[in-house]
Amino acid sequence: MSGLAVPELLRASHIKPWAHCDTDAERLDVFNGLLLAPQLDAAFDRGFMTIDDAGRVIVSDRLDPASRQVLGLDRPLSVTRLIDPHRVFLAWHREHVFIRSSASASDRVALVTGGRASVVPSVSEIAFP
Q: Mean pLDDT over residues 44-71, rounded?
A: 96
Q: Give Cα separations from 118 to 64, 67, 115, 125 (angstroms).
A: 22, 21, 9, 15
- Is there a contact between 50 and 98 (Cβ–Cβ < 8 Å)? yes
For residue 71, pLDDT beyond 80: yes
Task: Give the model's pLDDT for residue 88.
Answer: 97
- How high is the mean pLDDT of the chain? 83
Which has more pLDDT, 67 or 115?
67
Alpha carbons 60 and 105: distance in angstroms, whole number:
10
What is the pLDDT at residue 106? 53
Q: Is the pLDDT assigned to residue 115 strictly greater than 90?
A: no
Q: How far are the Cα atoms of 56, 92, 96, 102 from residue 51, in angstroms, in the given order?
A: 5, 11, 13, 18
Q: Which residues, at least 6 apart from 64, have a Cβ–Cβ distance to it below 8 Å?
A: 123, 124
| More confident site: 93 or 120 | 93
- Which spans in the chain are helix H? 24-28, 38-45, 65-71, 84-96, 105-112
pLDDT at 3 over 90: no
